[in-house]
């Protein structure tokens, strides 16, 4: 089971982009084997403090351990998937992906 927490600051376009990118990645690679929590640092600064969040968006992979984190709106899906340790999906029909 994968567990992610995405820290954003306000409901900005950048936050929404990050959310949809992360959801898309999880859906395509993990289907229902994940949980995702969105934390808005402007509303829950204490949680941002706990994880010492500097830049937003930042996604933290809480499970499986070890924790991993990635900063940015995850617009490069391939790199984001690699950095978060997501399993490859078999995409035999279009290897270059539609993720560009």
Partner 1 sequence: MTESSGIERCSTGIGGFDRIALGGLPLGRAALVTGTTGSGKTLFAVEFLARGILHTDARGVFVTFEETPSDIRRNFASLGFPIERWESEGKWVFVDASAGILEEAPVIGAYDFGGLVARIGHAVRTIGATRVSLDSLGSVFTRFADLGIVRHEVARIADALQQIGVTAVVTAERSNEYDHISRYGVEEFVLDNVIILRNVLEHERRRRTVEIVKLRGAPHRTGEWLFTIDPEDGIVVIPLAFLTPRGQASLTRVSSGNAGLDEMCGGGFFEDATILLTGPSGSGKTLTSLKFMASAVAAGEPCLVFAFDETREQLGRNAAGWGIDLDAMETSGLLYVVCDYPEVASLEDHFLRIRRAIEEFKPDRLVIDSVSALERIVSPRALLDFVIALGAVVRQHGVTTLLTSAPSGRFTPLLTPAIAAEIASLTDVTIALCYFEREGEVQRAIGVLQTRGSAHDPSVRHVTIDAQGMHIGERLIGTGFLAGLPGTLAWPAAQPGSQGPSAR
Residue ranges that bind partner 1, judged by CB under 8 A: 7-10, 12, 14, 17-18, 21, 41-42, 45-46, 48-49, 52-58, 67-76, 79-80, 83
Residue 9 or 93 with smaller CB distance to partner 1: 9
**Phi, psi at 96, each rounded to 5°:** -75, -10
- Nearest-approach distance from CB 27 to partner 1, in angstroms: 18
- Nearest-approach distance from CB 90 to partner 1, in angstroms: 23
- Nearest-approach distance from CB 19 to partner 1, in angstroms: 12
Residue 14 or 23 with smaller CB distance to partner 1: 14
**Phi, psi at 25, each rounded to 5°:** -60, -45
- Residue-wise DSSP of 9-34: SSS-HHHHHHHHHHHHHHHHHHTTSE
Nearest to 62 by CA among 35, 91, 33: 35
- Nearest-approach distance from CB 92 to partner 1, in angstroms: 25
Q: Cα separation of 48 and 3, whole Å?
A: 17
Residue 9 or 26 with smaller CB distance to partner 1: 9
């Amino acid at each position: 089971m994968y567990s992610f927490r995405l820290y954003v600051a306000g409901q900005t376009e950048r936050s929404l982009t990050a959310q949809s990118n992360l959801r898309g990645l999880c859906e395509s690679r993990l289907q229902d084997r994940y949980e995702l929590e969105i934390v808005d640092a402007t509303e829950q600064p204490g949680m941002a403090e706990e994880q010492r969040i500097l830049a937003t968006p930042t996604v933290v992979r809480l499970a499986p351990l070890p924790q991993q984190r990635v900063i940015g709106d995850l617009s490069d899906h391939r790199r984001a998937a690699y950095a978060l340790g997501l399993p490859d999906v078999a995409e035999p029909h279009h290897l270059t992906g539609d993720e560009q």
